[in-house]
Every structure is written in C-alpha cells, then in structure tokens.
Chain A
C-alpha cells in the first residue's frame, strides 16, 4: 500500500489575521493563526511577529491559536524568544483558544508554566487590564 505526496490534499498553509484591541490604555495586538507553522510557513510567522516587536515596538501580544493545527520546533523557539522579548519590555504574550493538540505540545515542553493561556480571547485580553488595587 503506497502513496505519493500528490495524493494528499493539504487544505491550509498559514493565514495570519491581525487585529488590535485597546485594553487599559494599551494597544493589544491580536494575531489569529490558521493552518500550520513549519519550515514551509515559518518565515511568514516570523515576519509578522518581528514586524510588531522589532519594527513597531509593540509588546502586548495575544495569539489566538484556535485554528493552528501544527507548530514545529522553530516556531516554538520563536514563540519563546518573543515571549522573553516582550517581558523584557514590560509587555506580555498570552495565548487564547489552543486546540488539544497544541495544548499537549505546550504541556510536554513546559511552555504552559511560563506563557499564560486562556479559553477565550476576551479572557486573554483581561490579562492586559490593570489590576485593581486591594481595598
């Protein structure tokens, strides 16, 4: 039973939708990823993240990974490097709506201990709101 690459249809590559949401006086940049991050699509993912951080100095990032089906080690390395970078600039990188598969990867690699994840964009955005001072 053999197969050739042409027999398999791959529906999505990588689509990145960008949105902004003002939260507590900050502009939170939302990136909604659809498809997969691998050697074929990594450059696009890197370009979008570095455009925000290195060129536009935006350090409040929310990644919506609901439709991300796969991420390779290079993509994970970029995520962790970006996380460290935004934290150094007093910003944050949080994740919303990870699939079970990506959640599994995050748990196995220990990323879940560092990067906050939320079940919805709304809850993730709340992370950027200034916390109320205790009474």
Chain B
C-alpha cells in the first residue's frame, strides 16, 4: 500500500510525498475542465514529458467521467449534494506521480476489473463507439489501483513512474 493509501485520508499524503495538491469539485460534467487543468499543470510541474502529461490527463478525465455518468447518475436524485463531490489529489513522490480520485458513490466501480478489448484495432474493427475510456485508464498509466469502502465510496489511484 502506498503512502497515499496508508494515510488516514488521501488528502493528507504520507511524509515521503514531495508535494501535493487537492481539488474538490462537484461531480458534474462542468467540473471536468478544472479537474483536467489541475492534473495537467501538476503533471507538468512533476516533470513528466508532454506525452505522459497528456496520458494521465486523459486517464483522469475518463475516470471522472465514469464517476459522473455511471456511479453518480444512478443516485443523483436520492443523495444529498454533499455526497456528489469528487476529490482529486495529485502527489509527487521522488520516483512517481500519483493521482488519487475519491468518489462518494454507493456503487463499487472496480475499473481494475472492468473488461476491455485487447488491442485497439479490435475496438476499431468492431465499430463500437463506447469502451475506449476504460482502455485509456488501464493503458495510459503505469499502475492502477482501486478500492471500494462501503459507506465511503471508490478510491482510484493512477500512477506514472518518473524516470
């Protein structure tokens, strides 16, 4: 378990973190640009190359879109507004850049176990319009970790190692 998960809250990473930043946004499509911008700027500050910045920005964008469109959409009418936030924490460690995404859904959305197509050519050949997002999350970062805590929500960690 990493420093981010071993702390009492993902918003206060362990002592080995060089720096971190935290954004709390409403779980709505309107929040996506701000989340992406925060992640993009943090990834640049962490020293990732342009391609890796783009990859982690896309992976986070897809993960947050899944929360909004799948996890939150089904419970939006019943949950109080305070339950519909998304917390995004970016953390720079000496050897890696991590993004921890916390939602407050009652649905266990295990992206690490979601089925996806094998090769991109398979997706292109089938003519499907959906399904690319999960592939991007699983393929555009070096490590994906997920945990679901009943009564709390999903915590998704996306990691890019720094050379």
Contacts and interface: CB of A to CB of B under 8 A. Distances in A.
Contacts of A76: 132
Contacts, number: 93
B83 interface: no
Interface in B24-41: 24-26, 29-38
Given A1-B19, A3-B21, A73-B136, 11 more contacts: A8-B34, A38-B29, A38-B61, A39-B29, A40-B29, A72-B58, A72-B62, A73-B62, A73-B133, A100-B50, A105-B58
Chain A: interface size category = 20 to 34
Interface of B: 19-26, 29-38, 50-51, 54-55, 57-58, 61-62, 65, 68-69, 120-121, 124, 127-133, 135-136
A104 B51 contact: yes
Contacts of A21: none
Interface string A65-94: 000001011101110110010000000000
Interface in A78-118: 78, 80-81, 84, 100-101, 104-105, 108-110, 114
Contacts of B61: 38, 70, 72
Interface of A: 1-5, 8, 10, 13, 36, 38-40, 70, 72-74, 76-78, 80-81, 84, 100-101, 104-105, 108-110, 114
Secondary structure class of chain B's binding surface, majority of residues: helix
